[in-house]
A and B are shown apart, each in its own frame.
Chain A
Amino acid sequence: SAVISQKPSRDICQRGTSLTIQCQVDSQVTMMFWYRQQPGQSLTLIATANQGSEATYESGFVIDKFPISRPNLTFSTLTVSNMSPEDSSIYLCSAYRGAQFFGPGTRLTVL
């Protein structure tokens, strides 16, 4: 398994600003993932982050809006840029170690 922490756990932001979410894994993993989950909904994959290479984005998500960093094998960040109320959601970090394990999520509200 993998123990994953995220910061912040929640935030309220103003329209037009950006927020960077941090994800820390307890040990080295090759693949990390970022998901978005609307309240009461399923999980939607934003992008896959492999250490040392550019993140791979899913259809409907672009790097300018959701830039991702993966500086080492235990850490990743997701930035939500130029936020609008439609970006209000839960953002989940995940790491793959035989199966996907998830962090506790970051609940973002954009006013």
Chain B
Amino acid sequence: QQQVKQSPQSLIVQKGGISIINCAYENTAFDYFPWYQQFPGKGPALLIAIRPDVSEKKEGRFTISFNKSAKQFSLHIMDSQPGDSATYFCAASQNSGGYQKVTFGTGTKLQVIP
């Protein structure tokens, strides 16, 4: 059972445009929502994260919007650049025996074209 649904599977955006990736979850025990960026041949890198008591978090060109009642969250990449071309994974985690157990979305392959 997929606990974190992510869409779209792939995304093509013009340079300078806004990239938007959406995720939805079912488990209300999730209490931490990170986004990871993965370039080909590399491990996922933590990009930005949010807790459910906050509706929005911005770091540079990256913004997470969080809707607790709808159990949805999204990543917005403003002024998208070719260097942003990567696969993005949303994730949700919950406390499990003293650590955060992470459930990953299915990933979105972003291509930013010049």
Least distance between A94 CB and chain B CB atoms (Å): 8
Question: Most chain-A CB neighbours within 10 Å: which of B42, B43, B107?
Answer: B43
Encoded as 1 (CB less than 8 Å from any B CB) or 0, chain A from 37 to 76 comes to: 0001111010010000000000000000000000000000
Majority secondary structure of chain B interface residues (helix, strand, loop or mixed): strand
Kindly state the separation between the CA atoms of A1 and B42 in the bound complex, as whole angstroms.
Answer: 17
Out of A41, A102, A107, name the residue touching B45 (CB < 8 Å): A102
Whether B105 and A104, one on each chain, are in contact in the complex, defined by CB atoms closer than 8 angstroms, is no
Total A-B residue contacts, Cβ distance less than 8 Å: 48
Kindly state the separation between the CA atoms of A45 and B93 in the bound complex, as whole angstroms.
Answer: 13
Q: What is the interface size of chain B, counting residues whose CB is below 8 A from a CB of the partner?
A: 22
Whether B107 and A42, one on each chain, are in contact in the complex, defined by CB atoms closer than 8 angstroms, is yes
Given known pairs A31-B99, A42-B89, A43-B89, the reply for A100 and B46 (CB within 8 Å) is yes
Whether B43 and A103, one on each chain, are in contact in the complex, defined by CB atoms closer than 8 angstroms, is yes
B44 contacts the other chain (Cβ, under 8 Å)? yes
Interface residues on A, range: 20 to 34
A27 contacts the other chain (Cβ, under 8 Å)? no
Give A6's nearest chain B residue, CB to CB. Answer: B43
Given A43-B104, A45-B102, A92-B43, 16 further pairs, Cβ under 8 A:
A1-B46, A4-B43, A30-B98, A31-B98, A31-B99, A41-B106, A42-B107, A43-B44, A48-B99, A48-B101, A96-B99, A99-B32, A99-B46, A100-B93, A102-B45, A104-B43
